[in-house]
Structure 1
Amino acid sequence: MADVRELICYPVKGCAGTSTSEAVLTPAGLAHDRSFMVIGEDGTYRTQRRHPRLALVRPAVSPDGTRLTLDSADGTDRFGTVRLDVTTTAPRRDVDLFGAAFRGIDQGDEVAAWLSEFLGTPSRLVRVPPEHDRIADGLTPGPSGYADSSAVHLLSRASLALLDRRLAERGAAPLPMNRFRPNIVVGSHGHDSEGHGDDWAAVPHAEDRARRLTIGAAELGYAKLAVRCAVTLVEQETGARRGPEPLRTLAGYRRAASGGVVFGTKFSVLTPGKLSVGDEVAVREWGDPERIS
């Protein structure tokens, strides 16, 4: 049986994730996931691609989304903790996310000063406004907050295990799942060499072929493969870029015909619902995978 092994929410885009035993899946992904984003003074998004120290910012958001706390995990007491009441009524700012224009609700000067000092560059924090109407593209388009693209990123343990074996062949160390920042990690208790049926998650990259799946009462629709970037080079525990792995190894066997190195799958939410670790993950529809070399 394929089941949920981990659920991870990333309240602030680019910052550390929070593991949880249960989560509400909304039309735009796990509740509060990528609801906030760090930006420069010109409104341009910040991520670990250029600011790997974001990995050391530990956010915590209250269940109702009205309180946000940011802690530093840099190993010093220099920065302390910043706590804020989340506002949805403050002035909107123009923000840029991968060249696309959106709006964000500025969360004030205190958190802006904290982030600016921590990152060493002028920064501000914005929240997705209630009127945010972004629809991410893909085979199944769907609402999305400030995620790179689609609302949900799913990855199987079997896929990571294969990568770790490939890394070992190069004399490289295995990598933790957090290098890839998934929302849902899937595992399996059995094996099916064809990658179908209850044991599909035992087969590496079987998630590439899942077109519609259910987790409890929730339903997800396949959007696209997850194209990997320099964020995978960042050690999440230290905020340091370690490269060239895993991109060097992935480039040897995970190049998509459409372009880019791919690892994991993006989904849109078809039916919201509650998710829990241990929930069965059932594939209701399979499709032909994109050609990978």
Structure 2
Amino acid sequence: MIAVSQLFIYPIKSMKGIALTEAITATGGFKYDRILMISEPDGTFITARQFPKLLKLETKVINNVVHISLPSRESISINFDDFSNTNEPTEVWGNHFMSHIASIRVNQFLSQFLQKDVQLRWVGNKLSRRTKRYPEVPVSFADGYPYLLLNEASFAYLQLQCPEKLNISQFRGNIIIKGALPFAEDGWKTIKIGEVIFDIVKPCTRCVMTTINADSTNYLANNEPLTTLRYFRADEQGKIDFGMNMIARNSGKITINDTVEVLERQNAKNYIKSFPPENSKLAQKCTITFEGKIIQGNNQQTILEQLEQQQVALPNSCRAGICGRCMVVLKQGEVRALTQSAIKKNNRILACSCVPNGDIDLNLLKK
């Protein structure tokens, strides 16, 4: 029998989640899920991708009041009446909509923690944001869709392949199920859990957030688990998937141990299988020259990983060949692309998705 094993909400985007025994579907997602978010003063979203220590902040919701606790145990309470009455422009992954800004007291509290001027924002009672594929479906501050389904068996399979110790919390799911075969969810189109019918929209494309240990907030070695997932969960465009994005057809309650009923199935997405040969003897040393600095590298790890290991900082965000922040200029040498979009025109390449074939010479992209 396939059933619900865990339920989570994340009241503030990128902060610690709250485990529930039951959850209520509301407009835009589970009640209280990702209804708050930290942003730049201009409304651009901020997450643990840039500030991993956000994952250490605990949240609670008591009598419609949100409480934030810092690692120092210092805390603050946030009442929704304290937010601005006006709607202000806000942006998440290129999706533009409106939200409300918290009081100066709250913004100063979070700015002090991050040592950066930030604002806390609330989606409001009437969500103006919509999902990309379904313009009639509201969504909160989640990356793209209201619900994320994870399968314990799929996670267990990944852990068997991955050399680093993982925790399913790294994938920040809302509904975690048990009793299904690994990646059985790939072939589901419509499911029913408790009182709620869900449509599975698409696999969830993963980024650097999955490489951060949620407890220590340190990055795992060798860009794991993205490196391992790339072997068997990357599509032709190089996007790496794990978990399923969903929307709900109706409101209702879901509880732990509720049965998952598959109402309709679909063809699973095709992934490129490219597991490395065991005991490979293909590893070779090479030199990576970056802005005149020469470091000893290899032809097995990405350029970004090797630069970071030598304390050479390079802007990055997704680490999956999507955002383009780690783009550099390849002056000399050849690289192997891990995604279709990793090599651009005019010798521009994405450091997170290219591996040296031999000695290479790189420059920063001049802006």
TM-score (norm 2): 0.70
Where 2:50 maps in the other structure, the secondary structure is coil
Structure 2: any 5+ residue segments left out of the alignment?
273-367
The answer (yes or no) to whether the contact 1:155–1:185 under 8 Å persists in 2 is yes
Query: Is the deviation greater in 118-127 or in 85-94?
Result: 85-94
Q: How far has the Cα of 1:139 moved from its partner?
A: 7.8
Q: Show the counterpart of 1:217.
A: 195
Q: How far has the Cα of 1:174 moved from its partner?
A: 2.8
153, 175, 183: which is aligned to 2:174?
Answer: 183
User: Superposition pairs for residues 105-144 of structure 1, below 5 Å?
Assistant: 105-138=100-133, 142-144=137-139
Q: How far has the Cα of 1:19 moved from its partner?
A: 0.4
Where 1:112 maps in the other structure, the secondary structure is helix
Calculate percent identity across the aligned residue pairs: 26
Work out whether 1:232 is the aligned partner of 2:210. Answer: yes
Where 1:95 maps in the other structure, the secondary structure is strand
Where 2:228 maps in the other structure, the secondary structure is helix
Q: What is the CA deviation profile of residues 201-233 of structure 1, one whole-angstrom value per residue up to 9, with x for unaligned ones?
A: 1x1111121110001111100111100000001
Runs of 4+ in 1 over 3 A off after TM superposition: 138-141
Q: How far has the Cα of 1:67 moved from its partner?
A: 0.7
Q: What is the CA deviation profile of residues 81-137 of structure 1, one whole-angstrom value per residue up to 9, with x for unaligned ones?
A: 011211265332211111222111112111111111111211110100223232213
When residues 140 and 110 of structure 1 are mapped into structure 2, their CA distance, relative to the original with a 3 A threshold, is closer
Work out whether 1:104 is the aligned partner of 2:99. Answer: yes
Q: What is the CA deviation profile of residues 34-80 of structure 1, one whole-angstrom value per residue up to 9, with x for unaligned ones?
A: 111100112110111111111011111235xx31100113xx35xx0
Distance 2:261 2:135 in 1: 18
55, 59, 69: which is aligned to 1:71?
Answer: 69
Q: Show the counterpart of 1:46.
A: 46
Where 1:158 maps in the other structure, the secondary structure is helix
Distance 1:281 1:26 in 2: 19
Work out whether 1:253 is the aligned partner of 2:232. Answer: yes
Q: Show the counterpart of 1:198.
A: none
Distance 2:41 2:101 in 1: 11
When residues 270 and 258 of structure 1 are mapped into structure 2, their CA distance, relative to the original with a 3 A threshold, is farther
Distance 2:219 2:16 in 1: 15
Distance 1:125 1:71 in 2: 15
Q: How far has the Cα of 1:29 moved from its partner?
A: 1.4
The answer (yes or no) to whether the contact 1:139–1:222 under 8 Å persists in 2 is no
Distance 2:78 2:91 in 1: 24
The answer (yes or no) to whether the contact 2:147–2:175 under 8 Å persists in 1 is yes
Distance 2:130 2:166 in 1: 32
The answer (yes or no) to whether the contact 1:139–1:223 under 8 Å persists in 2 is no
Q: Alignment length, in residue pairs? A: 270
Where 1:32 maps in the other structure, the secondary structure is coil
Distance 2:187 2:138 in 1: 22
Distance 2:188 2:137 in 1: 17
2:204 partner letter: A
User: Superposition pairs for residues 163-202 of structure 1, below 5 Å?
Assistant: 163-167=158-162, 172-188=163-179, 201=180
Where 1:84 maps in the other structure, the secondary structure is strand
The answer (yes or no) to whether the contact 1:142–1:150 under 8 Å persists in 2 is no
The answer (yes or no) to whether the contact 1:140–1:268 under 8 Å persists in 2 is no
Where 2:111 maps in the other structure, the secondary structure is helix
Where 1:251 maps in the other structure, the secondary structure is helix
Query: Is the deviation greater in 212-221 or in 136-145?
Result: 136-145
The answer (yes or no) to whether the contact 2:164–2:220 under 8 Å persists in 1 is no
Q: Show the counterpart of 1:156.
A: 151
Q: Show the counterpart of 2:33.
A: 33
Distance 2:66 2:215 in 1: 21
Where 1:271 maps in the other structure, the secondary structure is coil
Distance 2:169 2:230 in 1: 19
Structure number, greater radius of gyration? 2
When residues 136 and 259 of structure 1 are mapped into structure 2, their CA distance, relative to the original with a 3 A threshold, is farther
Work out whether 1:292 is the aligned partner of 2:271. Answer: yes
Distance 2:117 2:228 in 1: 35
User: Superposition pairs for residues 75-86 of structure 1, below 5 Å?
Assistant: 76-77=72-73, 80-86=74-80
Q: What is the CA deviation profile of residues 216-251 of structure 1, one whole-angstrom value per residue up to 9, with x for unaligned ones?
A: 111100111100000001111122223411011001
User: Superposition pairs for residues 271-290 of structure 1, below 5 Å?
Assistant: 271-290=250-269
Q: How far has the Cα of 1:259 moved from its partner?
A: 4.2
- The higher-RCO structure (CA 8 Å, 6+ apart) is 1
